Amino acid sequence: MNPYRLDVPQGDLDDLRARLTQTRWPFALPGAEWSRGVPVDYLRELAGYWADGYDWRAAERRINELPQFTTEIGGQRVHFLHARSPEPGALPLVLSHGWPGSIVEFLDVIGPLTDPRAHGGDPADAFHVVIPSIPGFGLSGQVTEAGWDSRRIAGAFAELMRRLDYSRYGAQGGDYGAFIAPDLGRVDADHVVGIHVNAATMGFIPFGEVPEAEQATMTDAERVRLGRLANYLQDMNGYFQIQATRPQTLSYALADSPVGQLAWIVEKFQEWTHGGKLPEDVVDRDKILTNVMLYWLTNTAGTSANLYYESMHSGNWPTPSGVPTGVAVFAEDVAIRRYAEQTNTITHWSEFDRGGHFAAIEAPDLFVEDVRAFFRTVR
C-alpha cells in the first residue's frame, strides 16, 4: 500500500489549455438540439470555461484532503480513497463508480457515511469507506492486458479489502458499479454482508422482449421504466455499441482531443441526470469537469471504454446470488423488481421521484439515507 497524492505537472495543464484554445469546431445545423448530440454553441462555451475559468488546482486540493493509496493487484495498479470512520463499530464499505463516472461521484457523501454523528445522523450507521478507481479508469491508470471485466474487477476489490484487513464488509455501486458490487457477492460471499446498487441494469432488467401478457401484469411504474428502457435501446445506446465493439478506434479521438472527451462524457450528464435541461442544472459544472479531467489527464478514455468490450465478450453473465441485496431506483433508473429477483436475493427496494444515474452526486441526501437504511438490516 503506497500513499498517493495528486500533483499534476503544470506542463500537462498548459498542454490541455493549448489544445482547448486551438480546437477546430465542427459545423452545426441551424437550430440543432441535444437530440442530434451535444450542441456546438453549448460545448464551445463550456470548453471556454474549462480553459479559462475552471480551477483544477482547487479540485486537486479537495481530493488530496482524503487519504489516497495505490497498490498492485494481478499486475494492475489500483488507486483508492480510504476514509476511516471515527466510530469504533463502523462497517467497512467499498463504493464502486461506473462509466463515465469516477471517485468524484462520491466526494459529497464520504463525510455523512463515515461520520454520521457530525452530519445529523446516528453514529450506529457509520462506515469505513473504500473508493477504488476502476482498473482502466482515472487514477488507476490504463489496464495493461485484456480480460478486466466486472468479475475480475470484483476479484481485485475483494483482494483489496483483504489487504486492508476487512474480513466483513458491504459493497455498493452504480452503473458498472452495479455490475461490480453484485459480482463481489459472487466472488467473496463469505465476507460480503450485503450489496446495495443504484443505476442497475444487467441482472435487474428484462433480457429481450417482454410479452404483452406479462406487460399487462405490470404496475404503472414498471411500465414507465420499461418504456424508458426501450427508448434507451432505440435512441440512446450508440455509445454502448461503439465501446462494446470498437473501443480502440474511439480512443484515438478521445485521447487526442479534450473537447472530444468532454463531449463524450457531458452528453451522458445531460441525458442521464434528472430534472434539468442542461447538465449543470443538476450537477455543478466544476464537478463535471473534474470528472472529465480524471479521464483526460490519465489518458484512460480507451481503456475505460474497453470495459464494455470485456463485458460483452467475457461470457460472465449474472448468476444467482444469495447475498442480501438492496436496490435504490432513482427517477431515471430502469430496474424492475420482478427481474431483479431472478438472480438476486432482494431484501430492500426503494423508489424515488428525483435523482438520476449519478445518484451520489445528484441526490446525496437520498443516496446516503438509502445506503444507511439497507445496511442497518445486515450489520
Which one is catalytic: 239, 309, 357, 370? 357
Which one is catalytic: 175, 188, 333, 370? 175
- Which helix (H) or strand (E) covers residue 147, if one does? none
Q: Where are the alpha helices (DSSP H) in 32-176?
A: 40-52, 56-64, 110-114, 150-163
Closest CA to 246 of 313, 179, 316: 313
- Name 366's Cβ contacts closer than 8 Å, sequence gap at least 6: 328, 330, 352, 354, 355, 359
- Name 346's Cβ contacts closer than 8 Å, sequence gap at least 6: 325, 326, 327, 337, 340
Q: Is 353 designated active site?
A: no
Which one is catalytic: 176, 239, 295, 308? 308
Amino acid making up residue 261: Q
**Rounded to 5 degrees, what angle do the CA atoms 92, 361, 256 make?**
105
Closest CA to 365 of 133, 116, 169: 116
Grid cell at residue 271: 441525458
Q: Is 82 designated active site?
A: no
Q: Is 175 designated active site?
A: yes
Which residue(s) pair with 346 in the sheet? 325
Do residues 314 and 151 touch, judged by C-beta distance below 8 A? yes
- Name 232's Cβ contacts closer than 8 Å, sequence gap at least 6: 334
- Residues designated catalytic: 175, 308, 357
